Amino acid sequence: MSRGSGGAFVYREMAVFTGNAHRAFAEAVCRHLEMPLGECEVFEFTNENIFVRFLQNIRERDVFLIQPIGSPVNTRLMELLIMIDAAKRASAGRITAVIPYFAYGRSDKKDQPHVPISARLIANFIEVAGADRLLTMDLHAGQIQGFFNIPVDELHAQPLLAEYFRSLNLANPVVVATDVGGAKNARNVAERLGADLAIVDKRRSGNDEQAEALTLIGDAEDADAIIIDDEILTGGTVASALELLRRHRARSVYVGCVHQLFAGAAFERLDTPEISEIVFTDTLPIADGAFARAPTKILSIAPLFGDAMHRIHTGGSVSDLFR
Ligand code: R5P
């Protein structure tokens, strides 16, 4: 690191690496940046201990480690932590953990007796390992940023989702949040489309991953409903919202989500011609499984990550990307 002509600190060139979570995404980011993906080996020994070795010099480099924390979550997390440690010990100038999907985000508060706040614990792990910054996308709750004492840049996929749904020229779009917590993101999409917003009053009982859509706040009759959620796992939330929208006589239903985690059940629950299209981004590799009856569309957010990384490297504004 040295002082540039304006007195600001300037890091030596960027170096981008990835673990085993989502290599295709890291390659897409590097294609956008017109630079090679760095060489690094990340593997498990027979005793399941993870090993990392950078195969090039990263001394004083501005290092970006791309690793969404997808399935198998705990392995991907450990890979990332060990990569950060290895980069630190190889004298990287600055280390940015690029985590397109931040797992454990749903454990962001103590809402039952005797439970952890795992998102906070993961934030501590990442910092203690030696990350200097975090770049991520659509945390389950924006307040998770506050679990970190390092700078956090949180990107948002709503502009991209809105742009796509606008291109469909739906006659009577209504954006539907799957619960009160998701209303802000859904409103963001609704405003961009000039559409009305409706909100599902959702109830979860206990920790059994069962979601129940109780009532719809707003109107969806004869509407082209666009369900917006930050993530889909079992598909229960979207399936119950779909049932509610059917009762409210929506004429078509689209689904837009940022992070597709698609557990097996999602492929059964959401594979229905009653869903006109399921749209999601590539923050995570596509889960094993397929939809035979519901069409799908993947929107790549790799260029957005590439632009944000370039701005972080050159001291540009990341928030300007969303103006
Ligand atoms: C919950 O608050 C989230 O926004 C999603 O609605 C939830 O994670 C989706 O999970 P599932 O698909 O298992 O219902």
Q: What is the pLDDT along the chain (323 residues), one digit of tens a residue?
A: 555 555 555 668 999 999 999 999 999 999 999 999 999 999 999 999 999 999 999 999 999 999 999 999 999 999 999 999 999 999 999 999 999 999 999 999 998 999 999 999 999 999 999 999 999 999 999 999 999 999 999 999 999 999 999 999 999 999 999 999 999 999 999 999 999 999 999 887 667 677 787 899 999 999 999 999 999 999 999 999 999 999 999 999 999 999 999 988 999 999 999 999 999 999 999 888 889 999 999 999 999 999 999 999 999 999 999 87
**β pairing state of 252-260 and 50-54:** unpaired
DSSP 292: S
Q: What CA dihedral angle connects 310, 280, 228 and 203, to 10 degrees?
A: -110
* Cα-to-centroid distance, 230 and ligand 1 (Å): 8
Mutate to test the pocket of ligand 1, among 229, 255, 284 (most ligand atoms within 8 A of CB): 229
Q: Which one of 104, 185, 232, 280 would you pick to mutate in the ligand 1 pocket, going by the greatest count of ligand atoms within 8 A of its CB?
A: 232
172: closest CA among 133, 209, 198, 199? 198
Tokens of 110: 């103590």
* DSSP state for residue 56 in the 8-state scheme: S
Q: Under a CB-based contact definition with an 8 Å cutoff, are residues 117 and 107 in contact? A: yes
234 lines ligand 1 (CB under 6 A): yes
Spatial separation of the C-alpha atoms in residues 134 and 268, rounded to whole Å = 35
Q: Give, as one character, the DSSP assignment of residue 138.
A: -
Q: Is 178 in the pocket of ligand 1 (CB under 6 A)?
A: yes
Buried b (16+ CB within 10 A) or exposed e, 222-259: ebbbbbbbbbbbbbbbbbbbbebbeebebebbbbbbbb
Ligand 1 center from residue 5 Cα (angstroms): 49
Q: Which of 178, 179, 255 to mutate to test the pocket of ligand 1 (most atoms within 8 A of CB)?
A: 178
Residue 64 · residue 305 · CB < 8 Å: no
Tokens of 268: 């059964």
Which is the closest atom of ligand 1 to the Cα of 261?
12
CA of 46 to the centre of ligand 1 (A): 35
Measured distance CA(69)–CA(71) in Å, rounded? 7
Cβ proximity of 255 and 296 under 8 Å: no
3-state secondary structure of 21: coil
Q: What's the CA-to-centroid distance between 177 and ligand 1, angstroms?
A: 11
Round to whole Å and give the CA distance between 206 and 210: 8
* Centroid of ligand 1 to alpha carbon of 23 (angstroms): 25
pTM, rounded to two decimals: 0.94
Please, is 102 exposed, middle or buried when counting C-beta atoms within 10 Å of its C-beta (0-12, 13-18, 19+)?
Answer: buried
182 within ligand 1 shell (Cβ under 6 A): yes
CB of 232 shorter than 6 A to ligand 1: yes
Are residues 117 and 162 in contact, defined by beta-carbon separation less than 8 angstroms?
A: no
Q: Tell me which residues are annotated as active site.
A: 202
Q: Is the CB of 13 under 6 A from ligand 1?
A: no
pLDDT number for residue 7: 52
Instruction: Determine whether the shortest distance from the Cβ of 185 to ligand 1 is under 6 A.
Output: no
Establish whether residue 105 lines the binding site of ligand 1, counting it when its CB lies within 6 angstroms of any ligand atom.
no
**Distance in Å, CA 232 to ligand 1 centroid:** 5
**209 ligand 1 Cβ < 6 A:** yes
